[in-house]
Structure 1
Amino acid sequence: MKLPVDPVENLVTLIRCPSVTPAEGGALAALEAMVKPLGMSVDRPVFDEPGEASVENLYARFGSEGPHLMFAGHTDVVPAGDEAAWSHPPFGGVIDNGILYGRGAVDMKGGIACFVAAVARYVEKHGAPKGSISLLITGDEEGPAVNGTVKLLQWAAERGETWDASIVGEPTCPQALGDMIKIGRRGSLSGRVTVSGRQGHVAYPHLADNPVRGLLSLAEALLNPALDSGTEQFPATNLEITSIDVGNPATNVIPAKASFAFNIRFNDLWNAERLKAEIELRLRAAAEDKRFRSGREEPVQFELKWVGNVSPVFLTHDEKLINTLSASIEAVTGRTPELSTTGGTSDARFIKDYCPVVEFGLVGQTMHMVDERVAVADLEELTRIYLRFLEDWFG
């Protein structure tokens, strides 16, 4: 029986499955066909949520004893955009001059293809490991992340699954394969502030109350001073105003309302409760600021709404996991990886509640872009890193 030892062949197969969130697109079926010859049991639970699309997921495992290593990732991809702008069809899996093109090549079907190849090579070389390996693969990472990893973890845990460590195969390397491992992630918190005023004619401002004036004070208060200057493991907490909305097409009308949205990426000096309290404190103080509202004695009237779910900050301290992966990378590539917490959120934010987790995968420079692509040589090298890690971690 043929084992899926070739990461390039694995990836071409996965890319040719148009699994744009939330569509399964054949990707999970293809993955199941790859891992079944390894002797892995496979489940493909579908999860639902009112108001959201149903999402199919995959959980595969072989072995019944510890230690138990989980590899986590996603087969769903973002839309291709203008397919005519691509050098090769986005779901064609074309190799041109040593480069493999396709949506999901690096984010993150490439990581899955390499890990499956590494497991196959391990089995071919050593037989079953003295422990267990599982794949926890979702179809809902690029979407709302409601019917994906968070529910798949709960589903598996309810069936008695426990894990000792996890690698998420996201594209973590900024420049060259092996230059970075993600050992944590900043938290994420979003909100919207709406300022109420009174509509009127711009030539008669005394008869109106321009909400944009108050909005300026509130926005400035969130931006300055900085929330902190960073920690040993994390960069400074950063708040960005992401939109300002008035909804007023007329140039001679003072609007009745104005709002702005913001997102905060926060480090381990904060949790959601403390950060929300700080934002609310700043807004209340700024509401008394009359610099832009001369002649107005009443404070700015505003409403703050928190938007979406909070992604918590986390940092992994598991020395065996981090040191074994770092040593494997250095042995294969000669590079000493930087241990980083930069970047956005990932499904590691859910996994960290179940076991220590790190992220390591391909170079991510072309993810979500037209002509997303990966060097064939990098696929082989990442497979060798994963194989070395499996040998050392189970050794």
Structure 2
Amino acid sequence: MADRETPQKWSDEQILQMDTSSSTDVLELKRKPIQEYIRRKRRYGKEAEYIKKTRTVLREFESFLLNEFESHLCDIDDTHVAAFNEHLRTGDRYYTITKTWSMEPKNIDLLDRTRYEYLSELVEFYKWLVEDEGLLTQNPARKALNDLPDSEFDLSPPGRPRIEIQEMKTFVQWLSTPIHRAIILFLLKTGVRIGELVNLDLCCLHLEHPIYEATLERRGISLHSAIRSSPDTVFLEGKYQADTTIRGETRTAGNKRQRAGGTLVPIDTELKTALLEYLLTRRCAHSHPQQARPVFLNRQGSGDNDRLTQQSVYGLLTENGASEGVLKQYGWWSKGQPTEEKVTPHYFRHYFTHNHRHNQGVYDQYMPEGVIAYIRGDSPDGESVREQTYRHDDWNVWERYVKRPYLAGIYQFGVYE
């Protein structure tokens, strides 16, 4: 997506007089600071969604400065940033952010946490102009953010619906198609992020079943070395950015799993049945390198890549145009509904995390905190007992300290009883 150029309201001479700099490309940088900043982010491999969000925030701030103060991005102080914060907090309309089906600016409706993130993005932008480029002598966004009172932002996580285990059982048993059962159960029982779900390949899934084994053999797929000797497990790989090539395929989504060596997650009988059911009923994937054949596919072919995407998952669960996802059909999700009142695809990660803690969830069984952190893929502390205990490079250690407590504690929904 090409960036818009800064409106030429200022002459080159005026631009050159803004603040001080030793840069040899002062004029070009000051004429297009956002475009240059985005180009730098893209060059260093930042994900497309992050770049899109960053550009959106900066363009809104740029337009706000132009409309309210006739000011350039490189000719402001902290009062302009404080005024932008007030605009985000009390204003009724954005300047540049529009609805997808209309060019009318949409209403501003931000959580405090999101508003804080917007201002923090300005801090990073001006930090780049000051420290990396030497274009400006001060960071007005940092000063404004530091001077705001502590009570300005409520940064506590948004509340989420409390769904009792029987209610969740009713929902899971209500699902009527193999793909919905497989996805929902996978999210509930592993706590994965959506990016990790869509990046999962058949070679990283070891199901001990003759039909699955024959499927892999027929397609010439060999299991990943991490799970070759670990039946009924899934290997969730470590962190990588979007546009990274894995097993010959460039991934459109990144993996945010913090454990560099990845995570080996046991698969219980219920999830195993759901995955086998789905794999037996889905169509074949042919448009991928042999070792990069995905587990989850779009229901319709999509050119050279039929891997399920993050957008497709949200469509299956929430909505996609006129198509209603299962969460919307069930009444757990609707557009515009506050976060604390609806179930989103990411909700299932929190459900796994909080409902397996001792005496804290909606479930009688529990898992040790270390097992939960390991399954989630949280970054380990090399000096902690947890790092020494929750490893998968030693099968006996992993089976004793991860697999057994996991299988004893993971909730069951009675889908196939």
TM range (shorter): under 0.3
- Larger RCO (alpha carbons 8 Å, 6+ apart): 1
Higher strand share: 1
TM-score using structure 2 length: 0.21
Higher helix share: 2
TM-score using structure 1 length: 0.22
